[in-house]
Structure 1
Amino acid sequence: MSSVPLKIGVVAGEASGDVLAAGMIKQIRLQYPDAIIEGIAGPNMLQQGCRTLFDMEELSVMGLVEVLSRIRRLLHIRKSVFNHFKDNPPDVFIGVDAPDFNLPLEKKLKRLGIKTVHYVSPTVWAWRENRIYGIGEATNLVLSIFPFEKAVYDKHGFPCQFVGHTMADDIPLQPDQAKARQDLSSIEFTEDQKVLALLPGSRAGEVNMLLDIFLHSAAKVCDALGSLNVLIPAVNEVRKQQIEAKIQAFKQNEIPSESLVINVLLGQSRDVMIASDAILLASGTASLEAMLCKRPMLVAYRLKWFTHQMMKRLYKAKYFALPNVLADKLVVPELLQEQVNPDTISEYLVGMLSDPNSTVSDEFVPLHKMLKQDADKQAANAVLTLIGASNE
């Protein structure tokens, strides 16, 4: 392999996978600077020199109903990616999360004799554990980000390595709120105004489902506190335009108090989280990042009716917010479906913002340490070891 460039295929389906893949690619390039890396990439992966065959945004679809409405396009993309790698076989293919898209692709590539890795275990610990047999058939190795996942794979005899999470390595155990506010130079912070971060999700469907409710909740919080500084980070320019359109409609229809200040930022979600006094966010990886940022949070999620009915029958875990799943107890409040309404949300948030002596760090620091495992390097070495290319 040393005589020709290493060739790696990688597909990420959303913003969180883009971050994980980019960190791993950076570490691979330290050993193989001339590696050819291509697949479906987000902005972070592109910065690491990954060539993308399709816009990652096309894969960022949530819920059963939404996926079904776009199934023909998704199948076309997957077939095109498969044909590309069939004609240009990589030394290894890595599917990053997005299991409904990546696992069938991995299975077909593995049958061609291509080594396959799945980075981020599907939630077999939460629902449909028998999916693990399909995962084992599709992959040579699973890289897990949570420690309890490996035990499930070990029980069934499938290779799995716990690597931790790259965000746990990047974020200090004690984040500096003053510095984060200083880094957000376009935002004016005052001592007498509380700061609320709103993160309604990275997908278009999530923003459509949650942002209106989040904005109405913020308006109620502002009425209770007298003023409020709201920060909304957008994962990309497309999402920023969607968020700004929603805010414009909200202001026209509701005419909120002038004391409610709303700022939309492109990126900078971590600085926004650390700078905030509390966070209202959609369930998902963002709740993990908020935990690592040591911020009080309220996790909320709504699903289409049919999707929710299906999940009620299938989901077996006690919690859905990742901090609670990791701790195996309720450390942050979580709201689902009808509970996600402005009255309930604002009641929680007013309590959080009125309490200057939050003890969230006492719960969050041990969880942070659990995930702090030098994930990018571990993931890169696991992939290279699998194909006999590690120089470590």
Structure 2
Amino acid sequence: MSLRVFMVAGELSGDLLGATLMQELRRRHGTIEFRGIGGPRMIAQGLESLYPLETLSIMGLVEVLRHLPGLIDVRRQLRREALSWRADVMIGIDAPDFNLGLERQLRQQGVTTVHYVSPSVWAWRQGRIKTIRKAVDRMLTLLPFEADFYREHEVPVTFVGHPLAEEMPLADDRAAARHHLGLDPASDSPLLAVLPGSRGSEIRYLGETFLAAVAQLRRQLPELEVIMPAATPARRTELEALGVAEHGIRLIDGQAWMAMTASDAVLLTSGTSALEAMLCHRPMVVAYRMAPMTHRIARYMVKTPWISLPNLIARETLVPELIQQQATPEAISEALLGWLADPDSSQALRQRFVAMHRTLQRNASARAAEAVLTMVRPENGTSLSNRHQEDTT
């Protein structure tokens, strides 16, 4: 019998997680169908995407309010589609403000629900744990401290590890990365990788600041080389309009991992890219800006002193975080110079990142697939209500 899996991803990082999970589900279950929302990777794995991935890629509290009527209509349509299609399981991948509501509605109709990638409930809006408990049959977390939080609040959870930790090697090859990018592997010139973000709003809020920081850093390090991966063609167009080339920055299409591995330090916006830089074992500076109203609301709700994943995983400040007004060209330049001018500190951080990398290598997609299939095909007749045991090994 064909297994029908309804999946909804909200952005590019979710598309990657969804695609690898689909591969593992198909490997373990012969006949399987996928429907929902996904991007190019999920579509390539056989997903029938009912809406473009960008439908849910809306950033910020205030911005979401403007799009709320449309999002409610999309969720209503997806609910109808999942029920008429008779989905066996709904897997929401990230996008918690959208997916948890859909998962709750479908669970009330008897559909098994799994949420892949924990929302930051441990950091802010902790009251959402009540919503999560009503919405999901099981939470799949990428990070170990997240599983601890759900255990404390009696939500069924499986720590699966992070797929990126599997994909990225523990032994990174800086020389090979430089050669691949057409850079001189033997050059003594420091190389900075700048990742300005995958959203247009990130370019708007930080693009010019990043360029000014690079210009200031070059006054201290005239020999500095800079490479900037553009996440999408649209982001490349926006960066070109800012005059990246006139600042002596080499703009490339994608290849963010390669650029970070080739670099001596990384400047980036907070998000998945910070985790990627950690898995490339590179010192970094994290900067972030958002709409002023969104920031004013968020600062009263956040319950953790960190926003970047390296610091959150370590539970201490390993890398500088410059948020909102702190993210000035001067502060960014000074923080980067701290890494580039202190090889011993950089090397110590790289070794710490390698150790953290190992803790996240759990064969995540395989573990996630096993957790999903156990939910929809319980062994020995065990009902869902009786299968709320934890699995964090």
- Whether TM-score is above 0.5 comes out as yes
What are the superposed Cα offsets for residues 233-256 of structure 1, whole Å, 9 maximum, x if unpaired? 2222222222222336x84xxxx4
> Bigger CA drift: 161-170 or 24-33?
24-33
Where does residue 54 of structure 1 map in the other structure? 51
1:275 maps to 2:262? yes
Structure 1 residues 155 and 366: CA distance shift in structure 2, 3 A? same
Residue 329 of structure 2 is aligned to residue 342 of structure 1:
yes
The superposition leaves residues 18-43 of structure 1 with CA deviations (integer Å, 9 ceiling, x where unpaired) of 12111111111112354211211122
Question: Relative to 1, partners in 2 of residues 1:267 and 1:43: Cα closer, same or farther, differing over 3 Å?
Answer: farther
Structure 2 residue matching 1:383: 3-state secondary structure: helix
Asked if the contact 1:38–1:51 (Cα under 8 Å) also holds between the matched residues in 2, the reply is yes
Q: Partner of 2:176 in structure 1?
A: 179
Q: Relative to structure 1, is the Cα distance of residues 8 and 389 closer, same or farther in structure 2, using a 3 angstrom cutoff?
A: farther
Matching of residue 5 in structure 1 with residue 37 in structure 2: no
**Residue-by-residue CA offset, 1:111-164 (whole Å, 9 max, x unaligned):** 111111100111121112221110010111100111111222222222111101
Contact conserved, 2:107 with 2:135, CA < 8 A, in 1?
yes
Match of 2:360 among 371, 377, 380: 371
Equivalent residues in 2 for 1:350-361, closer than 5 Å: 350-357=337-344, 358=346, 359-361=348-350
1:98 maps onto 2:95 in alignment: yes
Q: 295, 305, 318: which one pairs with 2:282? A: 295
Q: Give the structure 1 partner of residue 207 of structure 2.
A: 211
Residue aligning to 2:232: 236
Contact 1:29 1:35 in 2 (8 A): yes
Where do 5+ consecutive residues of structure 1 fail to align? none
Q: Deviations over 1:26-76 (max 9, x none)?
A: 111112354211211122222322221111122211111221222233223
Aligned residues, how many? 377
1:316 and 2:303 are equivalent in the alignment: yes
1:102-251 correspondence runs (5 A): 102-185=99-182, 191-247=187-243, 251=246
Q: Distance in 2 between matches of 1:65 and 1:130?
A: 20
2:175 and 2:185 in contact (8 A); partners too: no
In 1, the alpha carbon distance for the partners of 2:372 and 2:109 equals 18
Contact 1:15–1:235 (Cα < 8 Å) also in 2: no
Native 8 Å contact 2:196 2:203 kept in 1: yes
Name the structure 1 match of 2:84: 87
Deviation of residue 267 (structure 1)? 2.0
Runs of 4+ in 1 over 4 A off after TM superposition: 187-190
Q: Which amino acid aligns with 1:304?
A: A
Aligned 8 A contact 1:17 1:97 in 2: yes
CA contact (8 A) 1:16 1:285 kept: yes
Give the Cα–Cα distance (whole angstroms) in 1 for the partners of residues 167 and 327 of structure 2. Answer: 31
Q: Is the 8 A contact 1:61 1:203 kept in 2?
A: no
- Structure 1 position 43 matched with structure 2 position 47: no
Deviation at 1:190, TM superposition (A): 6.8
| 1:159-206: CA deviation from partner (whole Å, max 9, x where unpaired) | 111101001111111211112222224x56671432211112222211
In the TM superposition, residue 270 of structure 1 has moved relative to its aligned partner by 0.9
Query: Secondary structure at the residue paired with 2:25?
Result: helix
Deviations 1:308-327 (A, max 9, x none): 11111111112111111111
Q: Which residue of 1 aligns with 2:374?
A: 385
Q: Secondary structure at the match of 1:8?
A: strand
Q: CA RMSD in A?
A: 1.8
Write the letter of the residue equivalent to 2:330: D
Which residue identity is paired with 1:334?
Answer: E
2: CA distance, partners of 1:33 / 1:106: 25
The structure-2 alpha-carbon separation of the partners of 1:47 and 1:230, relative to structure 1 and needing over 3 Å to count, comes to: farther
Corresponding letter in the other structure for 2:172: P
Which amino acid in the other structure matches residue 356 of structure 1? P
Which amino acid letter does the alignment assign opposite residue 287 of structure 1? A
d(CA) in 1 for partners of 2:50, 2:243: 33
> Gaps (5+ residues) in structure 2?
380-393
Q: Match of 1:17?
A: 14
Percent identity for Structure 1 against Structure 2: 43
Local SS of the residue matching 2:303: coil
Conserved 8 A contact 2:283-2:350: no
Mapped contact 1:143–1:379 kept (Cα < 8 A):
yes
Distance in 2 (alpha carbons) for counterparts of 1:389 and 1:156: 24
Equivalent position to 1:325, from 300, 312, 315: 312
Residues 264 and 50 (structure 1), Cα distance of their counterparts in 2 relative to 1, 3 Å cut: farther
Q: Give, in angstroms, the shift of residue 211 of structure 1.
A: 1.3
Is this contact kept in 2: 1:281–1:287, CA < 8 A?
A: yes
Distance in 2 (CA, whole Å) between partners of 1:110 and 1:298 is 41
In the TM superposition, 1:59-74 aligns within 5 A as: 59-74=56-71
Residues 177 and 274, structure 1, Cα contact 8 Å, conserved in 2: yes
Distance 1:318 1:25, change over 3 A: same
| Matching residue's letter, 1:22 | A
Contact kept? 1:61, 1:205, Cα under 8 Å: no
